[in-house]
Amino acid sequence: MELFDNLALGFSTAFLVQNVLYCFVGVLLGTAVGVLPGIGPTATVAMLLPITFSFEPVTALIMLAGIYYGAQYGGSTTAILINLPGESSAAVTALDGHEMARQGRAGAALAVAAVGSFIAGTVATVALAVAAPPLASVALRFGPADYFSLVLFGLVVSIALARGSTLKALAMIVLGVLLGTVGQDIYTGTPRFVFDQRELYGGIDFVSVAVGMFGVAEILRNLENEQTRATIVSKVTSLWPTGEERRRSVGPILRGTGLGAALGVLPGGGHVLASFTSYAVEKRISKRPREFGHGAIEGVAGPESANNAAAQTSFIPLLTLGLPAHPVMALMVGAFIVHGITPGPNVITDEPALFWGLIASMWIGNVLLLLLNLPLIGIWVRMLRIPYQVLFPMIILFAAIGTYSLSLNAYDVYAIAFFGLLGYVLIKCGCEPAPLLLGFVLGPLLEENLRRALIISRGDPSVFLTRPISAVLLALALVALVITVLPTIKRRREVVFAGEE
């Protein structure tokens, strides 16, 4: 009964006029961003983050969450119609979705993707509502040593799931943690790494790092490798799948939902891994494996369900432990902190309306996306004709204005430019910026709990091994690190993430 009471509180919050409005705005923007290749949900959330600071906390978080899972929907539209995934997790959808479009079955592929995404999103939202409270109550028993080991485990797993070289991912984590130490010492107030710059005493601005690394850097990369988007789109005739297609889609949707819900909680690229894993599973168990890559409906239904389920369940570690599963969740941590809320197990008791309102809004957002996705296909495709030289300068302009408006300090705009160039250089060197942002967000939490644990234990480092939870998490982190560098696992990682290139 308590769960139903909590959900009633959540829906009463989510159904407030302003929350429904901004949920709609969020999913609409997210779908548009998912359609446009090269921007992605991380860059969009980073650039729109400053705009939400004047909103009520629950309204801001509902809108940002809508942008994220809306992008998971939108990425499939252009993947199916013109073989150009708007979002990395939609890359695998293009393999069979575009082949279906070439065979005149684009409508069926789009409809199955939309319905599968809705079912997966709904199931995953229920899983989030059921799993979050008990996990939060367990997290309340964690001490500083346990939290340190948990954060360390999350960072190690994010390295394992990062695209490209494991060593480079580790280097990005370390660089992010180092950037997080800039400013005054958390206990003594002594300035660290400020280089006599007064603006750095409060630390490096989170929004400037996020907008620079994921907004400006991605735009520079896309301007350098501008893709030709003048592609002839097959006319979408019927959006209703045949009886055979509906029957063949049921199993993949259910399996994809289960896989996505489980893999979405993993740090790093859980939603990308979910879609690729679902495709591999469907191909392996199919009675028609040769159809895959040539228009198999299972190759659309499974991956699309998986990545949307993963998008919802990636909120579980954020809301219960205060740990982001990937860069978008790291941005959500920033949004929580800016609004004066510490993400973690206390949110469910201190801010119940926000916690349950955010969960309820996910189901509302999924309904809105189901209603929006199919009727507006023509508009999404027309957006692809906007020239890059017009679109991207406007994005940078609005991002700079939004960041400057936070503290009316030109230094923040210079920081955007600096981190944009740094991010571009890192991308050119084959380094993924995502682990850097996770390290930057989690670094202060790692340091704080390390020092707090050592203070309580009077400098005895064995506290991390004598506490059972901490010892188990450290052992898991070590196992994850060893497995990552094994030759067989390295080859599998390269195969899985090759589809994103």
Residues 55-89 pLDDT 10s: 889 999 999 888 888 877 777 777 787 776 666 67
Instruction: For residue 474, name the pLDDT band (cuts at 50, 70, 90).
Output: very high
Residues 241-282 pLDDT 10s: 778 888 888 889 999 999 888 888 876 666 777 888 888 888
pLDDT confidence of residue 98? 81
Residues pairing with 184 in the sheet? 191
Residues 179-235 pLDDT 10s: 989 988 888 888 888 888 888 888 888 778 888 887 788 778 777 765 544 444 555
Q: Is the pLDDT assigned to residue 421 strictly greater than 50?
A: yes
343: left (phi over 0), alpha (psi -120 to 50) or beta: beta
**Where do we find the tokens 């250089």?**
425
Q: Share the mean pLDDT of the chain.
A: 81
Helix (H, G, I), strand (E, B) or coil at 38: coil
Nearest to 275 by CA among 107, 112, 87: 87
What average pLDDT does the segment 362-369 reach?
89
Tokens representing 153 are: 């485990």
Helix (H, G, I), strand (E, B) or coil at 251: helix
422: left (phi over 0), alpha (psi -120 to 50) or beta: alpha
Question: Is residue 29 within 8 Å of 70, Cβ to Cβ?
Answer: yes
Q: Which residue has the higher pLDDT, 437 or 353?
A: 353
Residues 86-119 pLDDT 10s: 666 777 888 888 888 888 888 888 888 888 888 9
Q: Is the pLDDT assigned to residue 483 strictly greater than 50?
A: yes
H or E element that contains 347: helix 347-350
**Measured between alpha carbons, how far is 234 from 253 in angstroms, rounded to an integer?**
25
Q: Which residue has the higher pLDDT, 408 or 341?
A: 341
pLDDT confidence of residue 86? 61
pLDDT confidence of residue 20? 93
Taking each helix axis from N to C terminus, what angle separates 57-82 and 93-102, rounded to the nearest 10 degrees?
50
Question: Is residue 335 within 8 Å of 291, Cβ to Cβ?
Answer: no
- Environment class of residue 65 by beta-carbon count within 10 Å: exposed (0-12), middle (13-18) or buried (19+)? buried
What average pLDDT does the segment 326-341 reach?
83
DSSP 228: P
Contacts of 377 (CB under 8 A, 6+ apart): 77, 81, 110, 236
Q: Is the pLDDT assigned to residue 53 strictly greater than 90?
A: no
Supply the DSSP string of 5-31, one letter for each residue. HHHHHHHHHHTSHHHHHHHHHHHHHHH
Taking the mean position of all CA atoms in its chain, how far away is CA 451? 30
Q: Is the pLDDT assigned to residue 168 strictly greater than 80?
A: yes
- Total-model pTM: 0.76
Q: Which residue has the higher pLDDT, 447 or 231?
A: 447
pLDDT confidence of residue 357? 92
Supply the DSSP string of 181-192, one letter for each residue. T-EE-TTT--EE
pLDDT confidence of residue 178? 92
Neighbours of 494 (CB within 10 A): 12
Taking each helix axis from N to C terminus, what angle separates 40-48 and 17-35, rounded to the nearest 10 degrees?
140
**Measured between alpha carbons, how far is 17 from 285 in angstroms, rounded to an integer?**
46
pLDDT confidence of residue 84? 67
pLDDT confidence of residue 370? 83
